[in-house]
Every structure is written in C-alpha cells, then in structure tokens.
Structure 1
Amino acid sequence: MTSRALAILGAFDRGHQALSLSQIARRTGIPPATAHRLLGELQSWGALRRDDDSRYRIGLRLWEVGSLASPLASVRDVAMPYLQRLYEVTREEVHLAVRDGADAVFVEYLGARRHGTAVGHRGLRRPLGESAAGLALLAHQGGPALDPDDRLAEIRRRGLAVLPDPSAPGLRTVAVPVVREDGTAVAAIGLCVRAPEAVQRWWDVLTETASRMQHALGHTERMPYDRAVEGSRVGA
C-alpha cells in the first residue's frame, strides 16, 4: 500500500497540480475504489487537500516535510542572506539550484521577472543540461574530469556557465557553482539577464557571492546569522 500511496503523490507534477479521482486512477493504474480510500488517508494526514471542485492538490503538511530535505534545509538556509544581497545589488532574478540525480532542482527564486515572463517557482525541476545552473552543477562533480564534453571543460575552466533561458526567449541564465573542498558542487547560484553585457557586469559579483557562501557552508556552526548577513555585502 505504501507504493500505491507514493504513486498517487507521484501523479502530481508541475503540469498536473490539481487532479480528480478519475485522473489519479488513470495516471497511477490504481483502481478507483482503492485510490479513493488512499486519497482519504492522505487527505486526513495533510499530504493532500481537496478543493471545492473535488480535485486534489498537494497539501501543506507534505510541503512542510519536504522542506526538511537536506539540500533545502541546510544549503538554502545558509544561502538566503547571500541571495538577498545579490538581488539587492543586481536587481536581476536570482536563483539557487541543487542537484537531484540527472536534474537540477531550483530551491529558491528571488525577484519577479521584469521581462513579461512567468515568475520563477521554487521546486522547478529541469535536466542538468537545460539550464546554466544545471551545467554548473554537472561540470563540477568532483574528482577527475572524465567526461569528453568540451562545454563542461570550458565551464570548469571559466567557473561560469551561460545558457539561453528556455522559458523566455531573449533572456540568458548565468550561473556559478558553490563547491566543497574536493571541488564537488553542492549548489549553483544564478542570474537571469537580458543584456549580453550584463553577463560580464555581474560575473565578479556572482563569483564573490559563491565564494562567501562556500565559506559560510564550511563554518555554519561558528558563523552567527548577523555576521552572515554582514559578510554577504557583495562587492562592498
């Protein structure tokens, strides 16, 4: 039954945020009667909620549990003052991504988009090769570089990844890795910009932000929050 409950939760994604009983049964292959019983249990626990139109959505309780996941609870918490300062300096959309298997998961966005595109959403998942943040994560896997991809080698050499934004023609995403001592990327910090010259303009700022965040991650227990905020004065 656990596998069936997980299958129901897995039926929801960015393109299917609200589902009826029949849609859930069809997407999971679970008989409607069984799905209805499991949906009731998941709703009682708070993993799902039922709208007035009888469609189900992910519930707040599941979001609360998910927020405790290691990448979100530790890296995101440490990163927040640095991301906020980066946004204050650049006034560009700022995002933070972590790796989950073959995907980059964007665990934080700051700043509404100013170019007529949709505002970024926390939890957005994309294959690593489809965003600058994903490429920055992919290029810094730690250990010897075994891949034959010249693009990844160039990203490692420059310490920076640049890619057109697939969701907004004319925009570019630029990202740098936040790495451990062994060179493995634990996260990537990125900006979304329109002007080509903005990539060069914010390069040093972005790199400095990543460097300060790396230091904070290595000294999390010893760095009080107010010092972290003060230390995030990028370019100061």
Structure 2
Amino acid sequence: MTERASGRGRPPVTRRVLDILGAFSAERPALSITQIARRAGLPLSTAHRLVGELTCWGALERDADGLYRIGLRLFEVAALAPRGPALREAAMPFLEDLYEATHENVHLAVLDGLEVVYIERISARDAVHVFSRVGGRWPAHATGVGLAMLAHSDRDLQERAIAAPLRRFTDRTISSGPQLRRALAEVRRTGVAISDGQVESFALSVGAPVFGPDDTVVAAVAIVVPNTGWDARSLVPVVRASARGISRALGAPRAVRPPETAMHGA
C-alpha cells in the first residue's frame, strides 16, 4: 500500500479544519472558498467539503456576496473559556471606573505563552490610537499588561521570555534579555508596569496584575494614554486599585489582606 493510499501523506482532518479556521484574521475576516483553500494549503475540493460542514455546524457563515466569515457558534464555544466571560464579568465595573478616570483606552488581557490576548477594551472615540482589539494578540514584552503578567508568572516562563528574540517596534521597545529582566524586577518592586512608547512612540501604558483564587496571576488591566500631557505616576494609584478590586472579586487571598503600607501604618 502506498503512503498516499494509506492516507499517511495527508494531515489529519482536525488539522485541516484548524487550518481553515486559521485562514481568517483581523485583516482578512471574509474569504472566498478559493482564498480559504489557498491560505489553508488545501485542495479546492477538500476545502469546499470541509467549509460546507463547518458552515452547517455554525463555525462559519456565508454572506450575501458568497464570502465566508467566522460564525456565531464559535463565539458561543469561546464563551465557555474560564478566562473569558467570568473574568470579564468580574472586571467590568472596575474597568468602567478606570475608563471614567481618563476617557482613554482601558484594557483587560490574559497571557498565552509569550503573547497577551485582549479580552476586553473600553475606548473613547477620540482616545489615543492603539492597535489592540478584543481577541487580538501582542508580544508580552512590549505591553503594559504583558509586563505586569510576565513579572508574576512562573520562573520558567520568565526565562523563556528573556531568552526569546524580542521584536522591536520603536526605539524604546525592550529588545534584549537583560533589559527585560530588569523591567520585570521593577514591576515586582512597584506593583505596576509602565510601557512608554514601546509599541507606538506616542502611547503610554500603565498596567497592573490581576490575581485569581490561588493567588497566581490570571490577567492584567491597563490604561493607555498619550505620553504627552500625562504623568505615569498619576495613573498608578487608579490602575493598582482597579487590579486589586478585580482580584478581590475573583477571590484572591492577597487582595483581601491589607496593603503593606496600611499594615506598616497600623
């Protein structure tokens, strides 16, 4: 029996299905069947069959122009993720308060490997421009939310980040391992992460970690404002308070203990 006849030369069906879903992106949210086949690296006939099955199930939808988009069924499934709706529900009151403090950009993100995934964003129409979007990813080392989470992640992940190639976006982006190590130590010392001009030269992000019931970091919250006219130090108390409030809502033991400054004062 040849390799082709036995099927060993083809990727499994699950891989082909994931390749189809992975063909879509924020830049290409609508694709024709030919584009899907090409981007997924599949024969047109195979793509046509699998796309038909995915459409019947609701993972894909076909619009009036014959283009395919991600379907609502995937949104329903994604809503079951433990770091999704429950975290957003606990965080929303604090995110809204944080937004009222600046009327700029407020982010809630989780860590996925060495990248952050944004799960909520509140922004005014005239807020400073940022590339983030709900569901979007960004390298952790260049963002306030990413630095806040990395600094409190396990040591192995930190060392992976420090040893990894660090993509540079501006002349202020952290771009070396020693530089990242110092930045993470500073986040642990101060309780906040300040990312000034790392992704866009005119944007300033102040982020703080959010902890879960076992006191491990589960997310981070941040404000992003223009770096002219704003002093990062003035944003630190409100960002810290927001992160602590979300952590308390999630049942983090460290969030219900008095802050160290209050204990020393007592």
- Listed one character per residue, the Cα deviations across residues 41-88 of structure 1 (whole Å, up to 9, x for unaligned) are 111111111122222111111112112211112211111111112112
Distance change in 2, residues 1:165/1:19 (3 Å): farther
Identity %: 44
Which of 157, 173, 189 aligns to 2:221? It is 189
Length-normalised TM-score, structure 1: 0.83
Match of 2:76 in 1: 64
Please state how far the C-alpha of 1:168 moved relative to its aligned partner: 4.4
1:114 aligns with 2:126: yes
1:19 aligns with 2:31: yes
Match of 2:249 in 1: 216
Structure of higher CA gyration radius:
2
Match of 1:231 in 2: none
- Cα pair 2:105 2:127 within 8 Å, conserved: no
Whole-angstrom CA distance in 2 between matches of 1:128 and 1:118: 15
Question: One-letter code of the match for 1:215?
Answer: R
- Listed one character per residue, the Cα deviations across residues 126-173 of structure 1 (whole Å, up to 9, x for unaligned) are 121121111111111146997461111111111111224566441111
Whole-angstrom CA distance in 1 between matches of 2:66 and 2:34: 11
The number of residue pairs the alignment matches comes to 219
Whole-angstrom CA distance in 2 between matches of 1:55 and 1:42: 14
- Cα pair 1:108 1:122 within 8 Å, conserved: yes
Please state how far the C-alpha of 1:211 moved relative to its aligned partner: 1.1
SS at match of 1:13: coil
Q: Which moved more, 1:135-144 or 1:29-38?
A: 135-144
Please state how far the C-alpha of 1:176 moved relative to its aligned partner: 0.6
Whole-angstrom CA distance in 2 between matches of 1:156 and 1:134: 13
The RMSD of aligned alpha carbons is 2.4
1:10 aligns with 2:15: no
Whole-angstrom CA distance in 2 between matches of 1:116 and 1:205: 19
Match of 1:223 in 2: none
Q: Which runs of 5+ in 1 are unaligned?
A: 220-236
Question: One-letter code of the match for 1:174?
Answer: V
Which of 31, 53, 62 aligns to 1:50? It is 62
- Cα pair 2:115 2:146 within 8 Å, conserved: yes
- Cα pair 1:177 1:188 within 8 Å, conserved: yes
- Cα pair 1:49 1:56 within 8 Å, conserved: yes
Whole-angstrom CA distance in 2 between matches of 1:141 and 1:185: 7
Match of 2:101 in 1: 89
Question: One-letter code of the match for 1:6?
Answer: L
Distance change in 2, residues 1:13/1:181 (3 Å): same
- Cα pair 1:113 1:119 within 8 Å, conserved: no
Q: Which runs of 5+ in 2 are unaligned?
A: 1-12, 160-177, 253-266
Length-normalised TM-score, structure 2: 0.75
Please state how far the C-alpha of 1:183 moved relative to its aligned partner: 5.3
**Superposition map of 1:71-220 within 5 A:** 71-115=83-127, 117=129, 120-142=132-154, 147=159, 149-164=181-196, 168-180=200-212, 184-194=216-226, 195=228, 197-218=230-251
Whole-angstrom CA distance in 1 between matches of 2:35 and 2:199: 27
